[in-house]
Chains A and B, each alone.
Chain A
Amino acid sequence: EDQVTQSPEALRLQEGESSSLNCSYTVSGLRGLFWYRQDPGKGPEFLFTLYSAGEEKEKERLKATLTKKESFLHITAPKPEDSATYLCAVHPGASGTYKYIFGTGTRLKVLA
């Protein structure tokens, strides 16, 4: 069964304290892995797409990496404005073109 698990559920960091969020996945083939940011009362906002193991993408203080079983979202020197819920989603290859499996997210709080 296709499955996505994110950890930790919640994370509190001091401003400047770097850390990583994890997204473990079990899917039959992988067309793509997506990271989104979701602010309270808003819809998910796209951050990155990763397609193959070894791929990395960066945007400001965020860096996403991908292996065959998991992805990490590294946050370097976070600021309070990075506080949000970060969602991971996978697009399975073998089980249908139109299905996306979402994790339950990591709630990040960055304290000033």
Chain B
Amino acid sequence: NAGVTQTPKFQVLKTGQSMTLQCAQDMNHEYMSWYRQDPGMGLRLIHYSVGAGITDQGEVPNGYNVSRSTTEDFPLRLLSAAPSQTSVYFCASRIHGGSNQPQHFGDGTRLSIL
């Protein structure tokens, strides 16, 4: 059971480039989310989805797009990378109906924007 899988693990981009961070889960979880983790700050929610075809913004959505075409996958897109988006990105999932249930996290993508 793989859980939540994120790819790539590391990435370096130049300012203005675009890329997609991949996230897949095999637990049939309806709820999936993207966070960024920066030094001295708690995990901050970027976007989330409660099921295929349904997405919504979190606390820091600017500069990021998401889509959810399947239950398993929830990619995060940077359309025009900026140095302020240098961070560690985590994807998480949980059962949708269980709002008190914990989230399960992937091991992150470490992204540097030059």
Contacts and interface: CB of A to CB of B under 8 A. Distances in A.
Nearest to B39: A104
Interface in A40-78: 41-46, 49, 51
A43 B105 contact: yes
Interface residues of B, number: 27
A31 B90 contact: no
B61 interface: no
B107 to A, nearest CB: 5
Nearest to A102: B42
Contacts, number: 60
Contacts of B104: 46
Contact of A98 (B41, B43, B48): B48
B41 A104 contact: yes
Interface of A: 4, 31-32, 34, 36, 41-46, 49, 51, 87, 89, 91, 97-105
Interface of B: 4, 31, 33, 35, 40-45, 48, 50, 56, 58-59, 90, 92, 99-108
Given A43-B105, A98-B56, 13 more contacts: A34-B102, A34-B103, A36-B102, A43-B107, A46-B102, A49-B102, A51-B100, A100-B45, A100-B103, A102-B42, A102-B44, A103-B42, A105-B42
